[in-house]
A and B are shown apart, each in its own frame.
Chain A
């Protein structure tokens, strides 16, 4: 199992079997378009990493798939197809059944989303009985099995959340997310609030469970270095758009979008030479008035007036995602022109 954290290729079957497809998904908060025309697929049994800075829209993508957007947020265009069925066309009751059964979610700081005055086991029972016909004792048995699965002593079903450490609570949440055997688990910064050692333990565990149970994961984080080890495929999001997408190893070694490259160069490394890094100058744009043309152009080191024709493209025309290699897509005028 030593290679479990680094092995980066999903099986061929997984790649062919599309579980969820976002088609030109557009989500607006009032007049502010937070997710602007996102195309993305997740294959069955695949770990897709979605990375970007705060405010880039990555959490909104997850909330759309889970169908838990709250007004003023609304899907302003496009579709979300789960095994070919468009979720945006479904009734509230159909969507209620969709949640947890087909897709479950582990939220950012989920460890605080447990009810503090309810025993852990009872929270499992509540959730399971809301979705399927199961006796209380049957549900408790399942809860015990699930806790075993995530490495917590099953007797802890009698514990209250405050009796568990942050890492254990996060495992409980992951166990709950797996309870109805969903095909897709959305994880939004599930380890951000945790220490490095606990983070690593939990990631190993998610990876083991994923290999055993075969669910797909959409893993959202700002920590790209973590995705290189953990994800099969990675999509990079900037200001509401996907700007690059590739298999994890390829993105690590052959990223092309200047934003992706900037992100990669923002992480100091524990190995190799100690070099001064530059990060990315400036900050992400205000989405109520995003820059014209390429949204990254005000921060892009390659957007200069030297090449007048290119500069005009960069500042007036929105680049579109284009294949530059199998499974590798980039939205960048420079890459398009120079190959």
Chain B
């Protein structure tokens, strides 16, 4: 399969539901945290998964890291369905290839262990280098993430490093297992602005040099534009828009993407419109009825939106959206005579 070489990870119909409420209050309600996601992570490509808190984007990251089991759907690694693999060896092999970087570089490193300890552990667990080659490999990893001279960092403890340096250590630790896929869940949101760009640049370098496939989970659209090749926009558990980054962010189709873009402070943007204040995100993924999950907040809604669930439809080549108005499926278009692109949207 040639496809599996360029796309080390593919997900098909990936779905994760949680029971709503806890303990005695637990009822039959289901939160559709992730609903029927299909996408591929390609080598040498950064795919950004954007959305607000509660959109399900972190659940996707955890499903891919196999920290959760999906309710249905499958995760394919190099063409093989790994969803049903349960043995320790299989999971270990998968995790050595698909590594994760977390949001909080303060919480993800053990405060009483040195950097040497953090980096040599994955090398030992995944048996990547012989004992004699350990030091050389550790230094190489530190150089890769821009911590030079490496000797200066090996014996340090996490508290002796700045936030940005700690996040670089976390990235070096992920690279130690020689992964082909890196999942980064908001890796810069806890860092100071002047440091963030350095981490984003490191992601770009790793993508180019190591041909890694990246999933970059973020709510920061400007940083997504800076690093990503592909953008997936998530709302209430579903992908509502996907396509090449510049297309999605410069000529968005879905009204939710437009709302997100209109909300970002952008010094270069000049005079801007006020956004409409609407409500309703939190509950949109709980026992969702038929119809569009964004309907309550949508300025473009028409009658069909609360009746029929929109499909992801490719309105432009490689660029699709889940919206009856801006990306109607052929059947809907015939039934309702809606325009193929809504006049309210920039073309």
Contact = CB atoms under 8 A, between A and B. Distances in A.
A3 B195 CA distance: 32
13 contacts: A3-B271, A5-B272, A53-B193, A151-B277, A195-B52, A196-B52, A196-B260, A197-B52, A200-B263, A268-B226, A270-B225, A271-B269, A284-B192
A225 B282 CA distance: 28
Contact of B201 (A229, A265, A276): A276
Interface string A211-252: 000000000001111101110000000000000000000001
B263 A283 contact: no
A42 B99 CA distance: 49
A193 B201 CA distance: 25
B223 interface: yes
Given A6-B272, A226-B265, A269 B193 contact: no
B285 to A, nearest CB: 14
Contacts of A267: 193, 222, 267
Nearest to A1: B274
Q: Give me the 9 closest cross-chain CB pairs, A-B, nearest first.
A: A279-B197, A268-B226, A280-B194, A200-B263, A195-B52, A226-B265, A283-B162, A196-B263, A53-B192
A309 to B, nearest CB: 28
Query: Which secondary structure characterizes the binding site on chain A?
Result: loop
B223 A268 contact: yes
B268 interface: yes
Contact of B197 (A3, A223, A278): A278
A317 B269 CA distance: 39
Interface string B312-333: 0000000000000000000000
A91 interface: no
A196 B219 contact: yes
Contacts of B196: 266, 279
A228 B265 contact: yes
A1 B277 CA distance: 14
A222 B193 contact: yes
A68 interface: no
A264 interface: yes
Contacts of B226: 268, 274, 277
A265 B198 CA distance: 12
A196 B272 contact: no
Contacts of B192: 53-54, 222, 283-284
B154 interface: no
Interface string A154-196: 0000000000010000000000000000000000000000011
Nearest to B279: A165
Contacts of B268: 269-272
B29 interface: no
Interface string A253-290: 00000000011111111111010111110011000000
B249 A197 contact: no
Contacts of A268: 197, 200, 222-223, 225-226
B197 A266 contact: yes
A196 B267 contact: no
A262 B282 CA distance: 37
B20 interface: no
A223 B204 CA distance: 23
Contacts of A222: 192-193
Contacts of A223: 193, 265
Interface string B34-58: 0000000000000000001100000
Contacts of A265: 197
Contacts of A90: none
B158 to A, nearest CB: 15
Of A264, A266, A272, most B-chain CB atoms within 10 Å: A266
A228 B220 CA distance: 18
B221 interface: yes
Contacts of A284: 192
Interface string B272-286: 111101000010000
